[in-house]
Every structure is written in structure tokens, then in C-alpha cells.
Chains A and B, each alone.
Chain A
């Protein structure tokens, strides 16, 4: 069988795709890649289907041995990337020969490295998706993170045309303050104009409480006139304001329903940028109307057509 043998797994390497849809009415999380820009670009560089799966490396230190020829790409966070100990560039595709050793060492800028192979890994989907949700024991290999000694099968690929993303399209993840655009909604009427002004004019900081489920911020305290709300569906990017007034942005592995008041939602394509920020990064919010927001999102996905 052809594929990667996992020599070193990294601490929390996950198999992901765009997510598991259609089961939220049962409480099953959408899950999926946190940064769709980098992950879809990894597939685009390989001319893959955008629905294919890939690996997400968050703490570096992964080593794979190729059994069989393939073509691969690495995108996302800036990292040390070696094939047979030769350092290589990311946001580009490479031919991999049987016997090659692929290593990702330290992550240098950003949070998530995406590693894709031509046609994706040949792993059976679980409930329509390969996305790993560890707390639900769904997806990936056995519903959990990658382990040493596991095997990631792929179909052999010999056809190789070099594709490299233009430098202009390679994002940097170290801007001084990241602006997140917000569509107001949900309980926005329960936040006074004064509170909204505070929200949109303050600088927040990403706390250590940041995972696949949510990102907790700290900064100016925001209040609504609500104690809590009746539990309701939570969408991607929803901004919860709990009693302590510190915003929580709900991300891919969020729970499906919840009872905190929400001022609106961060634009999906901006959540992808947030996914690459580290603890201590500075955030500010900017209001965007629904029509402009939808146009921005449509534009974003056109890039990958």
C-alpha cells in the first residue's frame, strides 16, 4: 500500500477537511479546517478537489516517510520544512519519491501548517467527512489525533507540474492589529449604542484560551441588558458576551447551541485569519453590513474556483 508512514506525529496533528455538515440538529459539531484560506490554497496548488482532506500541524515536529510517489504541498504558518533534510519553500508543490522523508520542524510565524497530498489521503469518511472532532470521537483515524506508527494511504501520483503561489498572495500573520469584520445580529438590540461604540473602538487581546472551539479575548468589558438567553443555535464566528463582558468568538468546533447573549458574528473569512494568530495578538472589530459581507465572502471563494 502507498502512503505516509508516521515516524513522528507531532503533538496534536489532525486530519481535517471542510467539515461535517447536516448533523448539527443532533449536536454534532461542524468541525473542519480553522483556516480555509491556507487549506484551500494547499489543495489549489495541487489542483485537488476543495473537498479533499489534509493534515493540520499545530505544534510542529512531525516526520513522515513516503512509501510510493506523490505530489504534496505545504501552506499556512511559516515553518521549518524539509524533504530529506533539504529545506524547502512552502505555498508550492513538490514531487515526493518513495523513500523520501518529510519533516516539519518548528513553527515560526502563525499557528497552523497544512500538509496536503494529491487527491487527499485515502481514508474512509465518517458521517460525510474526514474532519477529526476528538471530543466526539469522529473522523480522522479512530476519531483522534495522529499517532506514531500510523499509516496515511494515498493514491500514487506521477504527474507533476510545478505550481507556486505568487508572493503577493502569501499572507503574513504578524500584523500589529488584526481587524475582524463583524456582521451585527442575534441580540444586537440588547447592546446599547454606547456599548457597541466601546466594542468597535477598543483593542482586544487573544488569550491562551484559544482552541478549535473558540477564542476568548480580553479587553474592554461589554455589557448587554440580558442576563442570559434561551439556548439557541450558534453559527461560525458568533461573538458571545458572557457576564464578565469579555468576548468569545466561536469557531469550527463550537458546540451547536448555547445560552450566552451575542452581539453578532465575525465574518467567516476573517475567522480564518484569526486562526493563525497567537496568544497576545491584538484584535479590533469593524462593522460591516450584510450585503457587503456576502460580496466579500463570495469574492474570497471565487479565488479557488
Chain B
């Protein structure tokens, strides 16, 4: 673990130099520890793949004191393999009418669309970071067979609810946005919902299971083609 200055009132805690599932679990554990302190002088806590950015109240902490406290608090984190994971199932309509890059992916990978769907729904995904826009969760890792580089020409508008792949990551666009990920389907699941007290049903602690549904089911759930 390494704690560096980020700005006058922020530090960044690095847990590893490389992305791995183990590192992600350590980040999540550390994030939980920091959140559970419910310390009002910790103003923002942003977990990401290998790090946590912490913005703090400089009237209470100076950098050295905070660094010391954090080292004591976080240096010996143990991952609890049995920690209850809450799995969220996301229903996806994988059709070429909404999965704009499905056919292209099938051509490139020599896999049938059915095989791509099977591979995408066969794994439980961890959330490594949330950002880019509210509710945009970076999930990994998709099967190597369907890992796909970003589009050379990003789209000006990716429709809300699009399920997409970039390299070995997968994500859902919470709202219309420009983007360069490969779109393979669409969901009616809301990731950024102002009517929820938590604003988003997702947190980095969740795991995501995608489930293939028919066009009819998708439409019945309020999905828009």
C-alpha cells in the first residue's frame, strides 16, 4: 500500500500497480472500512480498480496525521472470501436490432450470436469501478473469446440501456451518451434513477449476472427498441 498526495485536501491510496480480482477485493474491503467509520471529515471516497481517492477536512487532519491513521487502518486488510456478495440480475435482450455490433462481433470472432450470448451470460461479473458518468459500472472480466477492442470510430450516441463490451470489460450505458464500446444488447434496468434514495441500485460491492430475455419480455419490462 502506498499513500500519495493528490491535492491540498486529497490523498490517493494505491493498493497495487496492477488490476486483478484480488486487488479489487482489497479495494472493496478498504472502501467498506472507510465508509463504516462514518467520518464526516472524509468528504469524498472514490474507489477505483487499484486505488481509493480520499478528500478530507484539512481543519481536522494534516497530511502526515491522516497518512499515519490510514496506514494503521488499512495496512493489513484481509480479504474475506466468504463475504456475502449481493448478486444483481440484469435482464438483457440480445437482438441485432439493439445489439448494434453483435453481427460484426460474430464475424470477427467466428462465433455464432448464440455463442456470444452464452459466453456473456455464463459469468458472474465483479464491478471494478463506477464513473465516466453517474451509474456507469466497469465490470470484468468477460471471456477472452468475446473480448473486443473499442470501436475505431466512437458513436456520437449510444442509447440508454445498451449493454456493451470493451476489451475484457463489460458495462451498461445508464443514459444516452457518446461512446466507443461494442454494443451487444439492451436492458430496461435503470442504473441511474433519481427516484431512488441511493440514486443507483449498484455499488462496487455488487456482482452482476446477465440473463438473456426475449424481445417480448424486454418490451414488457418497459424496454425501448
Contact = CB atoms under 8 A, between A and B. Distances in A.
B204 to A, nearest CB: 7
Given A28-B199, A127-B199, A230-B19, A237 B45 contact: no
Interface in B112-156: 129-136, 138
B62 A294 contact: yes
B6 interface: yes
B10 interface: yes
Given A25-B130, A230-B49, A238 B12 contact: no
Contacts of B199: 23, 26, 28, 127
Query: Which has the most chain B C-beta neighbours within 10 Å: A24, A255, A268, A297?
Result: A24
A27 B6 contact: no
A71 interface: no
Interface in A245-278: 255-258, 264-265, 267-268
A237 B7 contact: yes
A23 B202 CA distance: 12
A185 B6 contact: yes
By size class, the interface of chain A is 35 or more
Interface string B8-28: 111010000011000000000
A26 B134 contact: yes
Given A256-B131, A298-B58, A186 B44 contact: no
Interface in B54-96: 55, 58-59, 62-63
Contacts of B170: none
Contacts of A195: none
Contact of B136 (A27, A127, A135, A238): A27
B132 A30 contact: no
Contact of A265 (B6, B31, B59): B6
B47 to A, nearest CB: 6
A233 B51 contact: yes
B162 interface: no
Given A267-B8, A294-B9, A297-B8, A231 B129 contact: yes
Interface string A275-300: 00000000000000011011001100
A136 interface: yes
Contact of A27 (B10, B12, B55, B131): B131
Nearest to B54: A233
B133 A136 contact: yes
A25 B8 contact: no
A298 B58 CA distance: 8
A183 B202 CA distance: 34
Contacts of B55: 235
Contacts of B131: 27, 231, 255-258
B190 to A, nearest CB: 13
B200 A293 contact: no
A136 B200 CA distance: 13
Given A230-B49, A235-B53, A24 B129 contact: no
The DSSP consensus for interface residues of chain A is mixed
A26 B8 contact: no
Interface in B183-223: 194, 199-200, 202-204
A21 interface: yes
Given A25-B46, A233-B12, A238 B133 contact: no
Given A232-B48, A237-B7, A294-B9, A27 B53 contact: no
A212 B31 CA distance: 29
A184 interface: yes
Given A255-B132, A297-B58, A238 B5 contact: no
Given A135-B133, A255-B133, A294 B44 contact: no
B43 A25 contact: no
Given A26-B134, A27-B134, A233-B46, 20 more contacts: A22-B43, A23-B134, A26-B199, A26-B200, A26-B203, A27-B135, A127-B194, A185-B7, A186-B6, A232-B12, A233-B48, A233-B52, A257-B46, A257-B132, A268-B7, A268-B9, A290-B5, A294-B9, A294-B63, A298-B59
- Top 7 nearest A-B pairs (CB, nearest first) are A233-B53, A233-B46, A265-B7, A257-B131, A185-B5, A235-B10, A27-B131
16 contacts: A24-B46, A26-B130, A27-B136, A127-B194, A136-B134, A185-B12, A230-B18, A230-B48, A231-B131, A231-B138, A232-B12, A233-B6, A235-B55, A257-B132, A290-B63, A297-B9
